[in-house]
Amino acid sequence: DADVTQTPRNRITKTGKRIMLECSQTKGHDRMYWYRQDPGLGLRLIYYSFDVKDINKGEISDGYSVSRQAQAKFSLSLESAIPNQTALYFCATSPLGANQPQHFGDGTRLSIL
């Protein structure tokens, strides 16, 4: 089983719909992150959480919200999806400590029509 699991792996939906992407991890890491990847732009940070009660905005948080339900679970919501949110979304985790490598899930391909 994957250490960092994202569901769904693929999703096609319509403009205006509410969407939730889920991430769960078995690595026991405290830190969790959500990124989006667009062609030619690399990965950009949406939100991150260093603890269950800690939520921080990243570079591109507008239009997104997150929930850290437990140490192992971190979900990303699009309250009212728009076409320019079509992208590949990644969840990642890392342990405590400075400059630790992040471990990524397999990604969720989201298409908004």
Partner 1 sequence: AQKITQTQPGMFVQEKEAVTLDCTYDTSDPSYGLFWYKQPSSGEMIFLIYQGSYDQQNATEGRYSLNFQKARKSANLVISASQLGDSAMYFCAMSLNTDKLIFGTGTRLQVFP
Contact 85, 11 (CB under 8 A): no
Selected range binding partner 1 among 11-19, 65-73, 76-84, 89-97, rule: CB under 8 A: 89-97
Tell me which residue has tokens 């591109």: 60
The enclosing H or E element of 36 equals strand 31-38
87 is a contact residue toward partner 1 (CB under 8 A): no
Would you say 19 or 43 has its CB closer to partner 1?
43
Closer residue to partner 1, CB minimum distance, 62 or 101: 101
Give the residue with the Cβ less far from partner 1, 75 or 93. 93
Q: How far is the CB of 25 from partner 1 (least distance, A)?
A: 14
Q: Whats the size of the chain, residue-wise?
A: 113
The values of phi and psi at residue 48, to 5°, are -145, 160
